[in-house]
Each structure stands twice: as C-alpha cells, then as structure tokens.
A and B are shown apart, each in its own frame.
Chain A
Amino acid sequence: MKLIDPFRDPEPIKSAIRHLQPKAISCADQLGRPVQIMEVCGGHTHTLFKFGLPELLPKQIEFVHGPGCPVCVLPRAVIDQAIALATRADVIFTTFGDALRVPGSEHSLQAVRAQGADVRVLYSPADALVLAQQNPSKQVVFFAIGFETTMPSTALVIQQAAKQGFENFSVLSHHITIMPTLRALLDRDDVLIDGFIGPGHVSAIIGEQAYRDIADHYQKPLVISGFEPLDIVQSIDMLLTQLVEQRCDIENQYTRVVKSKGNQAALNAMYDVFAIDSEDALWRGLGQIKDSGAPISNAYAHFDAAKRFALPVQNQEIDCSGYCDQVMIGKLKPSQCPHFGKSCSPQQPMGALMVSTEGACSAYYRYRPLMENSEVV
C-alpha cells in the first residue's frame, strides 16, 4: 500500500487541479463548449467515481466513459455459448468472477450455477490447468475474455497445455482488441471527443506506439494514464496542455508501468496463440466491430472450445437496452438513460454497463454524485 498511498494524498491532487484549471478554461473558450475527454478504460471510470474527481475538476471538463470494460461489452450470444458449455454434465466451466452476473439471452452463469452447473471462479487461467490435471474424467473449459491485458495469460496457458499434451482442457475465447474499437468510435460522425485518457494495463502490453493512428490519422491527443487519482489528474493536465498548444501526441503518464515498446514476451505469446485483429467481433451495445476479434489461431485450434464442442455460430444481432451504445459513445450520461436506476440496476442489470463494477453505469450508480441522488433513488 506504500506504493499507492502517495498517489492518493489530497494535497498534490488538489494542487494539480489548481494547476490545470486555467488550461481547462482556455480550451473550453476555444471550443465554445466543455472539453470532452474519454477515459477508455473501465478502471479509470471507477477511479473517477470512487474518488469523486468530477466534483473537484473544473466544470469545463466532461468525461465520456469509454468502451474499455471487457465484461461490459460481452455480447449476449457469447454468454449463451458459455452457458451451453457450463450446463454440460462433462464440463467444469471456469471463469473470472465478474463474468458470472452478465445476463445472456435467458440466464447468467450465476443462475445456471445455482441450477447445478459446475461453474468455478478463478483468479488466473493457470488454475484451470491445475483443475484439468485434477479432474481427468472432466473437460475443463476456461472462459477467456478481455483486451490485451488478459490475452497474454490466456496465451501462456494454451501454450503450456499444448506442450504438456492436455486433452481435457480448452478455452472459450472472446478476446478483443482496443484499437479497432477506438477507430470505429472515431469514424462515427456523432462523436465529440477532444482527447483520450489511454488505458494503463493494455498499454503495458502493447506499448505507446500502438496508438499512433489516434494522433496521426484522427488528430486527437492521447495520454496513457495510471489508475490512481493523482495519475488521472496529471494525465488530464497533459491532455489539456496538448490541446492548448494545439498538439496531437501519444504521451505516457504511467511510465512506472508502461514501457514505450510494451512487453515483448507477452506480445510474442499473444501473437503465437491468437490471430490478432483477424476477424470482426461483436460488442454488446456497439455491434459488430471490424477486425476487433482475436480468435485462437489455427495452430492451437485444438484448444478452442467452440470448435471442440462444435458450438453453433454466434447470433450476430446487436443487443442492448436501446441506450447502451449512446452511453458508450458519450451521447448520454448513464443517469440520462430512461432505464437507469429503475429497470436497470446492479441488482437487475439490463445492459452490461451495469454488471461490472467498472462499467460506466454501475460506477455511476454506486458512486453517483450526491446531487444526482434524488433523481434516481
């Protein structure tokens, strides 16, 4: 905790906010409207709300909560596939904890577990291999989701399973990549985003240069940020500085973790096991996004649970409450959605943004500014 505490110390945070205030005012004056900053990653959304930063920051800054919560964008069709596997008598289905509550077409994994399916929560995919070893008469399936952050660990486990010749281990993979999605967002003509706070953990793997397109092609500044409040305030300051100076660069505030070239060993494992950006993927709320899917490559097809169990092809329909996509591109604030806090709450999530603690709607619900409270309770 000694590593974290200095980044939560109120004085440096307040001083950094005072420092960026004139820049925010000047940017907003230039634009004739508030500055819109998208924090791509759900972890950043969580920090913003947990520490109440929007209350402290100048009102000339507005946040658009981005699509970078892998649980939130899990399509219903993939949950249905997971349930189809989990309810087989010969399968032990393993998953990260927060995928349990995500609603599929009819059920969630949590609901089928209550009905008797063998669904187990893991902290690391490596634990799934241990389970496979301990249960030779069962098929152990690992539900692999997430961006480049979790992809290397899935890749390493698949490599290990191949090396050791596991016959009862496979992976239901719905890994997706972040850049195609940011491109898809920026290609829309109804998005008013002035700059990005770039994801910290994803960047630790893919490095700084992966975002080049955002600055060069789309002319937007991006600052890779750490997850503590001081990190975020500093990153906002760096973004505003670029805007004031009318620059568009990829900058890195999170230098204590993110190296310019990323993590080569992790990238090697990833590119060995996954066919990165090779097919379109379905995102809940956003629909089909070109090249954002990273299926298991042919060399490791043996460990692809969708192939091993001959799962039907995913239903391609766009699923959301009708408003999720507008929240995800920043057109609506979560509390402006007609379902928010009424028919959609963390207890009964309709859309996936309400499921994970890092989803914009769930974060909004849990940490909503007190002034908004009276509307939603």
Chain B
Amino acid sequence: MASELSKETLTSAKQNEKKKDLITLAHGSGGAAMAGLINNILKPIFNNSWLNEGEDQARINMADLLADLAPSDQNRLAITTDSYVINPIEFPGGDIGKLAACGTLNDLAVGGAIPRFLSVSFILEEGLPVERLAKMAHSIQQVAEQEGVAVVTGDTKVVPRGAADGLFVNTTGVGIIPSQRSLGCRYIQPGDALIVNGQVGNHGAAIADVRDGLGFTSILKSDCASLNNLIQSVLHQFSSVRCIRDATRGGVAAVANEFAQVSECDLELWEAELPLHDSVKAICELLGFDPLHLANEGNALWVVDSSEKDAVLAQLLSHPLGRNARIIGEAKAAKSKPRVTAKNALGTSRIIDLPVGELLPRIC
C-alpha cells in the first residue's frame, strides 16, 4: 500500500522505476515487482479513497453514485467499455491515455449520463519503459480530474515482447443518467437538424499524417477531447436534443448510417457546410479519403429538434469545444430504405455508405 511506505522510499523508488526501468514479465507475475508497479507508480497517480482501500473491487456507496442528483426510480446507471490500441501511442493532440479516458467518458456523456467512475486496465508489452506507462496513467488521471471522475479500480497484465504493441488500455466507465433525460436515435424525426460540434476528420487525418509522415504535424492535431462538459452544458438547458453520438471509427458517415437505420429516416448532409481543417482537406485530396469516413475523438453528431437548433448551436459555439460547430444537414422522411446522402454545393447528391474495410490510399 502506498500509504504504508515512507515518503522518501516512495520518491526514490518512483524515480528509479520511472527513469530506468522497463516492464518485464515479472511485473505481471503477481509478485513483488507487480506490487511495486501498482503501489509505487499507478496508485499514487490515480490516488483516491476507493482505490486505496486495496480490495479486489471498488466499493461505492449509492450516495456517492448519485452525488448531487435527486434520488429517483427513473435515474439509470450507464456502463460502457472500450479498448484502445492506437499506434502511435503518442500523437499530435493526445496520447493513448488521454484517448482512453476521453473516449469512454464521451461514450457515457453522449447518452446523457453524468460520468462518475472509471476502471483502467493496461496490457503492457515486455520492454515498455515504466516511465511511458506512468505518463499514460497521468494522461488518464488528468482527464478524470478535469471531469470530476475517479479511477477506482484497475488491472495490469504483461505479455511477452511482440504480443502487444507497447501498451493497450481498456477503460470502463460508470455514470448516472438523470431521470428527466432520454436520448436515443429512435427519437429522430423528419425535420430534425444535424449538428457537429467541431471540425470533421481531424483525428483520422492526424493519425494518417504521423503514421505515413505526410508532414502536416505542425498544423494538424487530433481533436481528442472529453465532450462531457460541453454535452452537460447543452443538456442542462435544452430538452430538444434527440441524440448525440461521438463520430469515432467510421466517422460521421458511420454514425449517420446508424442513425438512419434505427430511426428509419433519411439523413441529408450538406457538404458545403462541413467544418473542415485545410490540412484535412489536403490529406483527403492527396490520399483519396472522404472526410466523412475519418475518425473523430472530440466531435459528435447531434440531432436536435429544428425548433431549437439555432439556440443549441449558439450554446455549442460559446464553448471552447464547440467553437467550430455547424448545422450540417437534416433528417427527412425516408421514401424507401433509409439512407444517408451528401448534397454538394452544386446541388447534386451522392450516397454516403459505411467505409469499406481499412482506408487505403490511392496511387494516382
């Protein structure tokens, strides 16, 4: 237990482990090395009373779960889990730790949940510098702290060199959906406005850029961010939001297709309205990608009752994570099988399908 060690021992152990040490299979063996890693590196970073109890499970009082929410039979528990395997581990605009925290918090928040707790599991490749692990844990904690969430339980496993790519992270998030909130794509109606809160495709393009050395790194960053605060600020004021979904893998195209299928509405996107970073446009032109297929990590597709679309947009624009927000289309009654189309500035339309397989650059 961290609390049982003297401060001096702790500091020197921490410095040692951080500076020189590499993760070895011993760190996953259940012995002293593993205890050292957990107690000297990870626990002090995530430091909270639930974690520090040192039991096999975090024990949470119902009152802590509710916090300042009024008790109601209609409050619901929201649970979500996601694994993060991104390569490279650190990228412009974030790292795997920030991504693992933001991604799971976003998955809670887009459903209307107020995030409360996170679990974190690391799968570590033998040979990973301990310092790197600590850095990623710090990234997670930084997001958790900012969002008022505690990392209350976790796990580490070590696999032989080659069996993982540096480190993989799984996070599970728990939150509460207050009784009065009910978001879901089944509520989408013809006439509803489609809104994005930020530029489209920055994460996917930034990752393609660093992986392939395209040279935009100085100007293009991943949009990786926790949308929790932004979403709460809107849901707090407006009941006209039908649903929100963060446009991660598969991009806005994938989310729009999911919305169309469930709601049985056509979704029409307006290409000229898409907020696009110049570098994303350039990367898409160079490699033949469609920005609608590129992943986002701090950008969601919002469907809003048209009567309040301008007010919701104004609220989004007033928030740092929504300053590029734009109304990018609308839901329409489906004539036959529901589909997603994109209308361009010329007034012609094309079908927006799900991306096929991995995105492959074209040759000419």
Cα–Cα distance between A233 and B335 once the two chains are bound (Å): 32
- Identify which of A9, A52, A123, A146 contacts B350 (C-beta below 8 A): A52
Q: Is B29 an interface residue (CB 8 A)?
A: no
Q: Are A146 and B349 in contact, with the CB atoms below 8 A?
A: no
Give the residues in chain A near B236, CB-CB below 8 Å.
none
Q: Considering residues A96, A97, A347, A373, which has the most beta carbons from chain B within 10 angstroms of its beta carbon?
A: A97
Given contacts A10-B347, A56-B348, A366-B350, contact A347 B356 (CB under 8 A): yes
Q: Are A56 and B361 in contact, with the CB atoms below 8 A?
A: no
Cα–Cα distance between A60 and B167 once the two chains are bound (Å): 60
Given contacts A346-B356, A347-B356, A374-B336, contact A96 B361 (CB under 8 A): yes
Q: Are B351 and A71 in contact, with the CB atoms below 8 A?
A: no
Residue of B nearest to A50 (CB): B350
- Identify which of A13, A52, A101, A374 contacts B349 (C-beta below 8 A): A52
Q: Is A313 an interface residue (CB 8 A)?
A: no
Cα–Cα distance between A374 and B282 once the two chains are bound (Å): 34
Q: Are A51 and B346 in contact, with the CB atoms below 8 A?
A: yes
Give the residues in chain B near A51, CB-CB below 8 Å.
344, 346, 348
Given contacts A146-B364, A201-B364, A357-B362, contact A10 B282 (CB under 8 A): no
- Scan residues 64-81 of chain B and give those whose CB is less than 8 A from a CB of chain A: none
- Scan residues 342-371 of chain A and give those whose CB is less than 8 A from a CB of chain B: 346-347, 356-358, 366-368, 370
Q: Is B104 an interface residue (CB 8 A)?
A: no
Q: Is A129 an interface residue (CB 8 A)?
A: no
Q: Are A97 and B363 in contact, with the CB atoms below 8 A?
A: yes
Q: Is B202 an interface residue (CB 8 A)?
A: no
- Scan residues 213-237 of chain A and give those whose CB is less than 8 A from a CB of chain B: 229
Give the residues in chain B near A8, CB-CB below 8 Å.
345
Q: Are B363 and A1 in contact, with the CB atoms below 8 A?
A: no
The distance from the CB of B353 to the nearest CB of chain A, in whole angstroms, is: 7
Q: Are B363 and A150 in contact, with the CB atoms below 8 A?
A: yes
Give the residues in chain B near A50, CB-CB below 8 Å.
350
Q: Are A97 and B350 in contact, with the CB atoms below 8 A?
A: no
Q: Is A149 an interface residue (CB 8 A)?
A: yes
Q: Is B357 an interface residue (CB 8 A)?
A: yes
Q: Is A310 an interface residue (CB 8 A)?
A: no
The distance from the CB of B218 to the nearest CB of chain A, in whole angstroms, is: 17
Q: Is A14 an interface residue (CB 8 A)?
A: yes
Give the residues in chain B near A347, CB-CB below 8 Å.
356-357
Q: Are A14 and B350 in contact, with the CB atoms below 8 A?
A: no
Q: B interface, how many residues as a size bin? A: 20 to 34
Q: Is A179 an interface residue (CB 8 A)?
A: no
The distance from the CB of A67 to the nearest CB of chain B, in whole angstroms, is: 14
Q: Is A70 an interface residue (CB 8 A)?
A: yes
Q: Considering residues B348, B357, B361, B363, which has the most beta carbons from chain A within 10 angstroms of its beta carbon?
A: B363
Q: Is B263 an interface residue (CB 8 A)?
A: no
Cα–Cα distance between A366 and B340 once the two chains are bound (Å): 12
Q: Is B319 an interface residue (CB 8 A)?
A: no
- Scan residues 64-122 of chain A and give those whose CB is less than 8 A from a CB of chain B: 70-71, 96-101, 110, 121
Bitwise, A40-57 to B at CB < 8 A (1) or not (0) is: 000100000111110110
Q: Is B20 an interface residue (CB 8 A)?
A: no
- Identify which of B347, B353, B357, B364 contacts A366 (C-beta below 8 A): B353
Give the number of A-B contacts (CB < 8 Å): 86
Q: Are B361 and A55 in contact, with the CB atoms below 8 A?
A: no
Bitwise, A7-18 to B at CB < 8 A (1) or not (0) is: 011100110000
- Identify which of B285, B348, B363 contacts A70 (C-beta below 8 A): B363
The distance from the CB of B221 to the nearest CB of chain A, in whole angstroms, is: 18
- Identify which of B212, B285, B347, B351 contacts A370 (C-beta below 8 A): B351
The distance from the CB of B69 to the nearest CB of chain A, in whole angstroms, is: 45
Q: Is B341 an interface residue (CB 8 A)?
A: yes
Q: Are A101 and B360 in contact, with the CB atoms below 8 A?
A: yes
- Scan residues 295-311 of chain B and give those whose CB is less than 8 A from a CB of chain A: none
Given contacts A10-B345, A10-B346, A123-B212, contact A4 B364 (CB under 8 A): no
Cα–Cα distance between A51 and B361 once the two chains are bound (Å): 20
Give the residues in chain B near A150, CB-CB below 8 Å.
363-364
Q: Are B363 and A52 in contact, with the CB atoms below 8 A?
A: no
Give the residues in chain B near A149, CB-CB below 8 Å.
364
Q: Are B363 and A146 in contact, with the CB atoms below 8 A?
A: yes
Give the residues in chain A near B341, CB-CB below 8 Å.
370
Q: Is B281 an interface residue (CB 8 A)?
A: yes
Give the residues in chain A near B160, CB-CB below 8 Å.
none
Q: Considering residues A100, A110, A367, A368, which has the most beta carbons from chain B within 10 angstroms of its beta carbon?
A: A367
Q: Considering residues B212, B339, B353, B356, which has the most beta carbons from chain A within 10 angstroms of its beta carbon?
A: B356
Give the residues in chain A near B212, CB-CB below 8 Å.
123
Q: Is B278 an interface residue (CB 8 A)?
A: yes
Residue of B nearest to A367 (CB): B350
Residue of B nearest to A149 (CB): B364
Give the residues in chain B near A110, CB-CB below 8 Å.
357
Q: Is B54 an interface residue (CB 8 A)?
A: no
Give the residues in chain B near A320, CB-CB below 8 Å.
none
Q: Is A145 an interface residue (CB 8 A)?
A: yes
Q: Are A377 and B337 in contact, with the CB atoms below 8 A?
A: yes
Given contacts A1-B281, A10-B346, A377-B337, contact A98 B361 (CB under 8 A): yes
Q: Are A366 and B363 in contact, with the CB atoms below 8 A?
A: no
The distance from the CB of B349 to the nearest CB of chain A, in whole angstroms, is: 6
- Scan residues 169-209 of chain A and give those whose CB is less than 8 A from a CB of chain B: 201
Binding site for A on B (CB under 8 A): 212, 278, 281-282, 285, 288, 336-337, 339, 341, 344-351, 353, 356-357, 360-364
8 interchain residue pairs of minimum CB distance: A52-B348, A97-B360, A96-B363, A97-B361, A367-B350, A346-B356, A10-B345, A55-B348
Binding site for B on A (CB under 8 A): 1, 4, 8-10, 13-14, 43, 49-53, 55-56, 70-71, 96-101, 110, 121, 123, 145-146, 149-150, 201, 229, 346-347, 356-358, 366-368, 370, 373-374, 377
Q: List 6 A-B contacts (CB under 8 A).
A: A4-B285, A71-B363, A97-B363, A201-B364, A367-B351, A373-B339
Beyond A96-B362, A367-B351, 12 additional contacts (C-beta under 8 Å) are A1-B285, A49-B350, A52-B346, A55-B348, A70-B363, A99-B363, A123-B212, A146-B364, A347-B356, A357-B288, A368-B350, A377-B337
